[in-house]
Amino acid sequence: MEDFYKEYILDHYRNPRNFGHLERADAAAEDLNPLCGDKIRFELEIEDGRVKDVRFSGKGCAISQASASMLSESIKGEKLEDVVRMSREAVLENVGIGISPARMKCALLGLKVLKSAALGEIAGWPD
């Protein structure tokens, strides 16, 4: 926990990848973290059942924004059905720093919203 905030987390926080909006989104979803009001929106362009392009937007803490940013990088070209099945462990591994229970929703909000977009309905908290 001492190196709680690694360099790359701050980099993703201050320079989020795939941040903004798509001109034409085939799927989109947004949600709030009820604890803190942090908000994330994911937009997907889908072709042949795969993620062709992605954008995310929103406001929040370094953990939620970096997690969403890294997630957006990791799903380009992936099959939608794989995105829907993505595990919480995969995201936490990607984030790569210890996440305390109090901050778990921050780290997982991006995945919840992404899955909601891919499913076309509100997804539960990833477990």
Partner 1 sequence: MIATLGSDARARALAKDFPILAQATSRGKRLAFLDSAASSQKPQAVIDSLVHYYTHDNANIHRGVYELAARATEHFEAARAKVAHFINAAEPAEIIWTRNVTEAINLVSYSWGLGNLKPGDAILTSQLEHHSNLVPWQLLAAKTGAELRFIEVDEHGIHQLDDLDERLRGVKLVALSHVSNTLGTIAPLETIIPKAHAAGAVVLIDGAQSAPHMKIDVRALDADFFGVSGHKMCGPTGIGFLYGKRALLEAMPPFLTGGDMIKRVQFTTTTFNEIPWKFEAGTSNIADAIALGAAVDYLEAVGMDWIHAHEQAMTAYALERMRELEPLGLTLYGPPNPADRSGIVSFNLGDAHPHDVASILDTEGVCIRAGHHCTMPLMEKMGWTATARASFYLYNVEEDVEQLIAALRKAAQIFKLG
Question: What is the pairing mode between strands 50-59 and 27-32?
Answer: unpaired
Nearer to partner 1, 16 or 83 (CB): 16
- In the complex with partner 1, the residue whose CB is nearer, 62 or 119, is 62
In the complex, least distance from residue 11 CB atom to partner 1, rounded to whole angstroms: 11
Separation of alpha carbons 71 and 73, rounded Å? 5
DSSP state of 37: -
**Which is closer to partner 1, CB of 84 or CB of 104?**
104
Q: What angle do CA 77, 83, 88 make, to 5 degrees?
A: 130
DSSP code string of 9-23: HHHHHHS-TTBS--S
Shortest Å distance, C-beta 98 to partner 1: 11
Kindly list the residues in this chain that would bind partner 1 in the complex (CB under 8 A). 1-2, 4-5, 10, 14, 35-38, 59-63, 100, 102-103, 106
CB of 97 to partner 1, least distance (A): 11
